[in-house]
Amino acid sequence: MIKKLNYQLYILLLVITFFTTKTYAQAKIKLFNEKNLKGWYAYEAVSGKQKDASKVFYAEQKMIRLYGDKVGYLMSEKSFKNFQLTLEYKWNTDSTVVRKSNKKNSGIMYLVPTSTPDTLWPKGIQFQVKEGATGDFVFLQNVVLEVKGKKTEAGKSVVSAKFEDAEKPFGEWNKVTITSLNGNIKQELNGKLVNEGTQVEVSEGRILLQYEGFPIDFCNILIRDF
């Protein structure tokens, strides 16, 4: 009887382990395959939307590299609802790379609705990546959020300042974690909570990587569905 119970317990543990591992694996998605820009499209103001993103931006050395003379963005083809997005970025230190601006300014947008038109910049929330302001919320095209108990104003581009500085020195890799769960948003940078809010009105959308003229690299782009 004891042996039978032990065997049944063993089988139960195997089943639990199998389904737990399977669920975890299914929930974690690699948004960048480290080879090419499959799963993304590009947009820049002159030529508009480019299904072949490599006509505007680059996949090199297992990184997404945004540089050149065309301000624009990469947009994920997939849309996500409740998720945790993690990625790493660093400013490109190669002085020979073509740039449009010397101002260190970029961003990671999320919850960009599939219905919103392509423009600079579309509706959604931005994790600001900018010298002196990395970690700020930027709410675009009338998106609002409650931050520290107060609802933000609706507008074309509204900023809610970061809680603290957490960006590493120029040229070093930084890790970003963005969590969106049932209307609650958290932005983390290098393990520190730099911004959060509640009751966001946009519940689902795509991921967008901004290029505003200063070369920037992204890698290890992963998203986990809840």
**Predicted pLDDT at 3:** 52
CB atoms under 10 Å from CB of 163, counted, come to 16
Span 31-225 CATH architecture: Sandwich (2.60)
pLDDT tens track for 121-175: 999 999 999 999 999 999 999 999 999 999 999 999 999 999 999 999 999 999 9
Mean pLDDT to the nearest integer, 198-213: 96
Which pTM does this prediction carry? 0.88
Mean pLDDT to the nearest integer, 58-83: 97
- 4 or 160: which carries more pLDDT confidence? 160
> What is the 8-class DSSP label of residue 198?
B
Mean pLDDT to the nearest integer, 179-201: 97
DSSP E strand stretches across the chain: 28-30, 40-44, 48-50, 58-60, 63-66, 72-80, 83-91, 105-112, 124-130, 137-140, 146-147, 150-151, 157-160, 174-181, 184-189, 192-197, 205-211, 216-225
Mean pLDDT to the nearest integer, 189-195: 98
**3 state SS of 191:** coil
For all residues of the chain together, what is the average pLDDT?
92
